[in-house]
Amino acid sequence: MAEKFIVTPWEVTGDVDYKRLVREFGIKEIDAHLLKRIEKIAKGSHHFLRRKIFFAHRDLDWILDEYEKGNKFFLYTGRAPSGHTHLGHLVPWMFTKWLQDKFGVELWFQFPDEEKFLFKEKLTLEDTERYTYENMLDIIALGFNPKKTKFLVDTKNANLMYREALKVAKKINFSNVKAAFGLTNETNIGGIFYTAMQAVPAFLPSVLAGKNIPCLIPHAVDQDPHFRLSRDVVGKLGYYKPASIQCRFLPALQGATGKMSASEQETAVYTIDDPETVKRKINKYAFSGGRDTVEEHRKLGGKPEIDVSYQWLAFFEEDDKKLEKIYTDYKSGKMLTGELKQILIDKINKLLAEHQKNREKAKKKIGEYLVKG
Amino acid sequence: MAEKFIVTPWEVTGDVDYKRLVREFGIKEIDAHLLKRIEKIAKGSHHFLRRKIFFAHRDLDWILDEYEKGNKFFLYTGRAPSGHTHLGHLVPWMFTKWLQDKFGVELWFQFPDEEKFLFKEKLTLEDTERYTYENMLDIIALGFNPKKTKFLVDTKNANLMYREALKVAKKINFSNVKAAFGLTNETNIGGIFYTAMQAVPAFLPSVLAGKNIPCLIPHAVDQDPHFRLSRDVVGKLGYYKPASIQCRFLPALQGATGKMSASEQETAVYTIDDPETVKRKINKYAFSGGRDTVEEHRKLGGKPEIDVSYQWLAFFEEDDKKLEKIYTDYKSGKMLTGELKQILIDKINKLLAEHQKNREKAKKKIGEYLVKG
Q: Residue A190: left (phi > 0), alpha (psi -120 to 50), or beta?
A: alpha
Report DSSP state, residue B248. P
Does the CB of B122 have a partner CB in chain A at under 8 Å?
no
For B114-142, write each residue's pLDDT tens digit. 999 999 999 999 999 999 999 999 999 99
For B147-183, write each residue's pLDDT tens digit. 999 999 999 999 999 999 999 999 999 999 999 999 9
Q: Which of A280-289, B67-76, B263-272, B308-317 has the lowest mean pLDDT?
A: B263-272
Judge: B159–A157 Cβ closer than 8 Å, yes or no: yes
Q: Which of A225-234, A345-354, B193-202, B347-356 has the lowest mean pLDDT?
A: A225-234
Judge: B188–A195 Cβ closer than 8 Å, yes or no: no
- Chains A & B: contacts with CB separation below 8 Å: 122
Q: State the helix-helix crossing angle for B189-199 and B158-169, rounded to 10 degrees.
A: 100
The sign of the torsion formed by the CA atoms of B48, B51, B56, B57 equals positive
Does the CB of B195 have a partner CB in chain A at under 8 Å?
yes
Dihedrals φ, ψ of A167, to 5°?
-65, -40
pLDDT of residue B138: 98
pLDDT of residue B256: 65
Q: How far is CA A83 from CA A358, B13, B95, B174, in A?
A: 19, 51, 50, 28
Half-sphere exposure of B234 (CA within 13 A, CB side): 28
Domain spanning B6-253: CATH 3.40.50.620: yes
CB A233 within 8 A of CB A199: yes
CB B244 within 8 A of CB B219: yes
Is 70 exceeded by the pLDDT of residue B78? yes
Where does the pLDDT of residue A221 fall: very low under 50, low under 70, confident under 90, or very high at 90 and above?
Answer: very high
Of A161, A174, A189, the CB nearest to B196: A189
Q: CA-to-CA distance for A85 and A82, rounded, in angstroms?
A: 9
* Residue A75, amino acid: L
Q: Which residues in chain B are classed under CATH 3.40.50.620?
A: 6-253
Alpha carbon distance, N-terminus to C-terminus of chain B:
53
Domain spanning A263-360: CATH 1.10.240.10: yes
Question: CA nearest B87: which of B315, B343, B246, B291?
Answer: B315
Q: Which residues in chain B are classed under CATH 1.10.240.10?
A: 261-360
Q: Which residues in chain A are classed under CATH 1.10.240.10?
A: 263-360
pTM for this model (two decimals): 0.94
pLDDT of residue A89: 97
pLDDT of residue B373: 83
Q: Number of helices and strands (H, E) in chain A?
A: 18, 11
Of A177, A184, A190, the CB nearest to B170: A190
Q: Number of helices and strands (H, E) in chain B?
A: 18, 11
CB A235 within 8 A of CB A285: no
pLDDT of residue A3: 54
For A287-334, write each residue's pLDDT tens digit. 999 999 999 999 999 999 999 999 999 999 999 999 999 999 999 999
Residues present in chain B in total: 373
Judge: A174–B189 Cβ closer than 8 Å, yes or no: yes
Predicted ipTM > 0.90? yes
pLDDT of residue B257: 60
For A228-270, write each residue's pLDDT tens digit. 999 999 999 999 999 999 999 999 999 866 566 655 678 899 9
pLDDT of residue B6: 78
CATH of domain B261-360: 1.10.240.10
Give strand pairing partners of A11.
Answer: A8
pLDDT of residue A2: 47
Does the CB of A173 have a partner CB in chain B at under 8 Å?
yes
pLDDT of residue B2: 47
Does the CB of A184 have a partner CB in chain B at under 8 Å?
yes
pLDDT of residue A118: 98
For A70-91, write each residue's pLDDT tens digit. 999 999 999 999 999 999 999 9
